[in-house]
């Protein structure tokens, strides 16, 4: 690669690899929680309902939204709806499977499709509650999709850590530090 190629990040570069690494991290955290529960007196059935604070959404919601952010990114960017996820997981095993299903879907995304989407799709229409946002694909990726994704992955990490699951900074960062293939 030339110096210019290294200096220019594409829409694909800032989205798909980021979502993939984060989902691998999330899956690792859930597997670690499963192993921790198996050697302690924690019931696997209670883990999905854990939350940071009584008025906050539980672990299931955090995993579902992180997963949906990656999935809906592709749907919104391409204008084509992919298979829907039911958001009905109740077990940690199902949450781990959901991460893997999202990983599998994102690994099939074509770089060219993402990189050319900004040319074909000038506006992403996003409805959040009663507020509507219209933004360019670049704005959507950088100002909503990636920050929202990290918010929910980090919240899942924080829930598990607060509940005593032995995870640390490197459990969170290690997938992001591996060089690209």
The answer to whether 82 and 74 have CB atoms below 8 angstroms apart is yes
Asked if residue 24 is part of any domain, the answer here is yes
In a domain, 137, yes or no: yes
Question: What mean pLDDT value characterizes the chain?
Answer: 91
d(CA 113, CA 118): 9
Asked whether the predicted pLDDT for residue 1 surpasses 60, the reply is no
Question: 13 lies in a domain?
Answer: no
CB 70 within 8 A of CB 106: yes
Has residue 2 been placed in a domain? no
Tokens of 18: 């980021």
First to last CA, the chain: 14
Tally of domains in the chain: 1
Question: Is residue 47 situated within a structural domain?
Answer: no
Where in the sequence is the domain holding 67, given as residue range(s)?
Answer: 18-36+55-177
Question: What is the percentage of the chain residues whose pLDDT exceeds 90?
Answer: 73
- Give domain status of residue 120, yes or no: yes
Q: Token digits for 80?
A: 């084509």
pLDDT digits (tens, 9 = 90+) for 66-95: 999 999 998 888 777 888 889 999 999 999
* pLDDT tens by residue, 139-174: 999 999 999 999 999 999 999 999 999 999 999 999
CATH code for the domain of 163: 1.20.120.450
Contact of 34 with 135, CB cutoff 8 Å: no
Q: What is the mean pLDDT of residues 48-68?
A: 97
């Amino acid at each position: 690669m030339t110096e210019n190629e290294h200096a220019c990040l594409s829409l694909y570069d800032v989205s798909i690899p980021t979502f993939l690494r984060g989902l691998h991290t999330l899956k690792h955290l859930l597997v670690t929680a499963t192993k921790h529960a198996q050697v302690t007196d924690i019931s696997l059935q209670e883990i999905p309902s854990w939350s940071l604070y009584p008025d906050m959404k539980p672990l299931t919601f955090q995993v579902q939204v992180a997963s949906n952010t990656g999935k809906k990114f592709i749907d919104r960017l391409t204008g084509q709806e992919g298979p829907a996820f039911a958001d009905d997981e109740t077990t940690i095993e199902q949450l781990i499977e959901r991460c893997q299903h999202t990983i599998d879907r994102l690994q099939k995304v074509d770089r060219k499709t993402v990189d050319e989407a900004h040319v074909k799709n000038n506006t992403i229409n996003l409805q959040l509650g009663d507020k509507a946002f219209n933004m360019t694909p670049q704005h959507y990726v950088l100002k909503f999709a990636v920050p929202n994704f990290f918010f929910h992955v980090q919240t899942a990490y924080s829930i598990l850590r607060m509940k005593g699951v032995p995870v640390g900074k490197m459990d969170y960062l290690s997938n992001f530090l591996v060089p690209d293939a």
